[in-house]
Chain A
């Protein structure tokens, strides 16, 4: 086990030296986006893979965080760092509220309500010109800085983004492998049985929604200070579909599977140089094909093989 820990630590150290290797700005931008998607997809993995809630609103939480940070930095002239907790807090609060309302019916209505909410947020970003400036967005946002050191390039921005990503992933990993994670799995397998043991299913679900929405919100807030603009495209369905593909192909409930898939599906479309529309078409096809053939994803296949190996060893 310590060998694995050593490998992880070595990997993290290697990641931190990435900006020093002289890669182009484009490559470092892809690396930053990979970090963002790692947080988003692992957050969705907590909600869907453990909580059993198919949330299509993650993009809305991420967008709420982005707009909150952008507006506070722009209109209230706050330091960009100081806006991030509020970005996370607002996203988490909204997430918990929407989840509370929709879970009164069932976890299925949650899926529908989350989609409607994500679409509503698209409209709010575009049409509520008084607050969000509409389609023009907020250009000219400040950049993150520590002392006099400004994170003004993708290579420099990679450090704070990576740090936040690692903290988030560690938190998600701990949560998934804690008592709460196991309780969530129990609820997912048999809700009435879990409840008869005194488990509060609703509270556990609201907790994971809140955590993942909060992390997505902070990620969104950080990311706009790299883009230096926030506009309605931050609410684009593209993010939802990317997250879903990463979680579905990686295998819901499989931490490393989803993490790997998020890296693959960030780099692969860039390497293939697909236009955004074709990328979405391809993702859609993958989603449909996965649902028809391997609904448990890559992680599911691995888990099945491991299970079979145990069976043959025991027999």
Chain B
């Protein structure tokens, strides 16, 4: 078997897996703090990619300022999302918040379809198809940069969650809502930050992946579908579990798609999720917090 091809697939898998991880970690964070599963998560990723496309092609922004701008916009949208829709729903009726985010997702996806049509768009950056060659492998700069963005996001998220007071508060709320209230944590503030971070991660993922894949209004749902499966596989509310499951899934998918068939790559997330539910319902890294 050709080693270069294998390594190439692994790298592609790691890139996609890293962004599955960013989406899944955002989902997990929002779920942990607000007890809301955000079904519109993928649509924010799609919006991020759309915004990236417009900033690159119409505003003629460079790659680096574009990614930064889209991420900041994502944070702003997250703030609005919490303020207008999610704020009053935290910890209340699960189905209600679920249908709310599902409805929002449909508005965003079909609104984008109506405004921008289903034609796939290619986001071009000033780096074009430039690539570096590492040990016979040709890796495009866009993939390397995407990986770097993901790594940066991982580190920042880790620092926020484990090295700041508000991060500590977030973990406290995720672990035990009532106890967190008792010790004087203000759930509103914590929830707002969780949503802002979650949506900013979506926007960053969209911006970083837009130059690698094509941009379409329907890209969000299929991408988010993997993120949902990952959250179940990794264990609900387990952010670290989501990251590991995401990277593993990305690589496995790339290998299956590269050597066997596309449909196996599509289905593996679902099969893994069902197996986990059957044999280890709390998830591979679940802490026992039941949904």
Q: Contact residues of A with B, CB < 8 Å?
A: 48, 54, 56, 98, 101-102, 104-106, 108-109, 111-113, 115-117, 119-120, 123-124, 127-128, 237, 241, 244, 248, 275, 277-278, 280-281, 283-288, 290-292, 295
**B273 located at the interface, meaning its Cβ lies under 8 Å from any Cβ of chain A in the complex:** yes
Q: Which residue of A lies closest to B115 (CB)?
A: A277
**B183 located at the interface, meaning its Cβ lies under 8 Å from any Cβ of chain A in the complex:** no
- In the complex, are the beta carbons of A105 and B221 less than 8 A apart? no
Tell me whether A277 and B113 are in contact in the complex, defined as CB-CB below 8 angstroms, given that A116-B229, A291-B103 are known contacts.
Answer: yes
Report chain A residues within 8 Å CB of B100.
287-288, 291-292
- Docked Cα-Cα span, A287 to B101, in Å, equals 9
6 closest pairs, A vs B, by CB? A287-B103, A284-B107, A284-B106, A280-B110, A277-B114, A291-B100
Q: Which residue of B lies closest to A48 (CB)?
A: B95
Tell me whether A115 and B39 are in contact in the complex, defined as CB-CB below 8 angstroms, given that A237-B106, A241-B106, A284-B107 are known contacts.
Answer: yes
Instruction: Please name 12 pairs of A and B residues whose Cβ atoms are closer than 8 Å in the assembled complex, sorted by A.
Output: A111-B37, A112-B228, A115-B228, A116-B232, A116-B269, A120-B270, A123-B267, A275-B114, A284-B105, A284-B107, A288-B107, A290-B99
Tell me whether A116 and B114 are in contact in the complex, defined as CB-CB below 8 angstroms, given that A54-B98, A281-B107 are known contacts.
Answer: no
- In the complex, are the beta carbons of B96 and A291 less than 8 A apart? yes
Return the contact of A288 from the options B37, B85, B270, B277 (Cβ within 8 A): B85
**B263 located at the interface, meaning its Cβ lies under 8 Å from any Cβ of chain A in the complex:** yes
Tell me whether A295 and B222 are in contact in the complex, defined as CB-CB below 8 angstroms, given that A104-B277, A280-B110 are known contacts.
Answer: no
- Docked Cα-Cα span, A198 to B229, in Å, equals 33
Report chain A residues within 8 Å CB of B262.
127
Report chain B residues within 8 Å CB of A111.
37, 94-95, 98
**B274 located at the interface, meaning its Cβ lies under 8 Å from any Cβ of chain A in the complex:** yes
Report chain A residues within 8 Å CB of B267.
120, 123-124
Q: Contact residues of B with A, CB < 8 Å?
A: 37, 39, 85, 93-100, 102-107, 109-111, 113-114, 221-222, 225, 228-229, 231-232, 236, 262-263, 266-267, 269-270, 273-274, 277-278, 281-282, 290-291
Tell me whether A287 and B102 are in contact in the complex, defined as CB-CB below 8 angstroms, given that A119-B222, A281-B111 are known contacts.
Answer: yes
Return the contact of B270 from the options A109, A116, A128, A285 (Cβ within 8 A): A116
Q: Which residue of A lies closest to B282 (CB)?
A: A105
Q: Which residue of A lies closest to B222 (CB)?
A: A119
- In the complex, are the beta carbons of B277 and A105 less than 8 A apart? yes
- Docked Cα-Cα span, A51 to B71, in Å, equals 41
- Shortest distance in angstroms between A69's beta carbon and chain B's nearest beta carbon? 21
- In the complex, are the beta carbons of B106 and A112 less than 8 A apart? no
- Docked Cα-Cα span, A48 to B93, in Å, equals 14
- In the complex, are the beta carbons of A124 and B103 less than 8 A apart? no
- In the complex, are the beta carbons of B232 and A123 less than 8 A apart? no
Q: Which residue of B lies closest to A247 (CB)?
A: B99
Return the contact of A113 from the options B106, B113, B273, B282 (Cβ within 8 A): B273
Report chain B residues within 8 Å CB of A287.
99-100, 102-103, 106
Report chain A residues within 8 Å CB of B94.
108, 111
Report chain B residues within 8 Å CB of A283.
103, 106
Report chain A residues within 8 Å CB of B104.
284, 288
- Docked Cα-Cα span, A284 to B100, in Å, equals 9
